[in-house]
Structure 1
Amino acid sequence: MSATERAVEQDKAAGGRTKRLLSTASGRTVLASICLRLPAKSRRVYAYLRWPEGRKTRERYVCQVSCDTREENLAQAWRQALSVGLASLQQPKESARSWASSPAVRSVMRANRPRDTRPELALRSAVHALGLRYRVDRPPLAGLRRRADLVFSGARVAVFVDGCFWHGCAEHYRPSTRNVEFWSGKVADNRKRDEETDSLLTAAGWTVIRVWEHEDPQGAARRIATAVLALRTPRR
């Protein structure tokens, strides 16, 4: 992609070139851009705001994005950057105001690791103790940008461990009292994506099992084992 094409892409995602304008500490007005990154061994895409400052390029973390296309991810990241104000993203990390609406939400955000969370590790251990073997953090279907936490290829069973906050658990989810529109939209998007993932996998002949992070790992492991053993294809 050429520099001109990249500029057009950023303008469109931001909703116009003027929305990308950012005043630097030196008083200059520059054009900011959104950079998308997919870290190795991660199923999440991270968005960063970037802008030139003197001879250096500065950047600050904006948010995680979860859409299916680059165009949609850029637009989602720009909406978040603009909602908090581009100038606020210039502040050093240690002094920037948190987007979390409360200490509880801030704690959830910090604990939102791409993989190997405590509930995932506990479930893996319980499933392994039942004698089952599986793959971790893999896309069940080739070409589908959705990664399951546990994948049983032979039985075609995909297991997802869902966080109560990020996936809107009916029992434990509490809506944010600040920046309500953003957080409600984020959780709604996650739930919509979950439903779409379930539909795509089911249509392809997979069994989808979702486990809430608050569930007892032993009970969830038994539920998974029952499904896997029932669907496993006998070896000849």
Structure 2
Amino acid sequence: MILKGKTAIVTGASKGIGLAIVEELLEKGVKVAGWSRTDPGISDNDFQFISADVQSVESIEAAYKATVAKFGNTIDFLINNAGLGIPSAFEDTKPEDWQTMFRTNVDSIFYISRLLVPQMKQNDFGHIINISSIAGLNGVKGYAAYSATKHAVTGLTHSMMMELRDFGIKVTGVYPGSTNTHFFEGRHTSTPPENMMRPEDIAKSVVELLDTHPNYLPGDIELRPLRPQGKPKK
């Protein structure tokens, strides 16, 4: 098995898709550093909670040092999952909310990935997965700023892939549709929670992308609920 004994960093690890990815990786025998502001409370010898605020370069650098101290300098997988969305009409979007979303959704990918790429190049192996959103492929009414960040993630992911593939490093973009997580809590959505995808299914797909032949490079992967509105009425 490709995964067993490898080491991964997962950001946004305390809940939702990030937590599900951590649990799936641990089940496959991967050592995981879970970066988040809140401790998910996982009790596993192969798991280490690392306190991190991905909006802060200083916090990211400290989290990386703590990860290396725990697991060593070889990090095989990076799942850039941390993200947030603040709904607002375009003209009502607060500049501070715009900046918060870009720092979390886009800047963090740059700040974290740049720390890992040199050692991945040296090892001639690595896989970076950027968790984006369907909003990174289409505009979304009421989420202009969020959609802008996810479109930026798309461009960044594609460029990273083109630059790093010759060094044995895979870069994959994952674009989930509506998923039953805290993201939609208290928000109106056309897709009822029971018709959304489950975080554990997203996690299984992500881990399957990691468990691939060294010469197999998955690019953009869209994940969508089958019946977002439920079964049609007869």
The alignment's TM-score, normalised by the length of structure 2, stands at: 0.33
- More helix by proportion, 1 or 2? 2
Instruction: Identify which of structures 1 and 2 has the higher relative contact order when contacts are C-alpha pairs closer than 8 Å and 6+ apart.
Output: 2
The alignment's TM-score, normalised by the length of structure 1, stands at: 0.33
- More strand by proportion, 1 or 2? 1
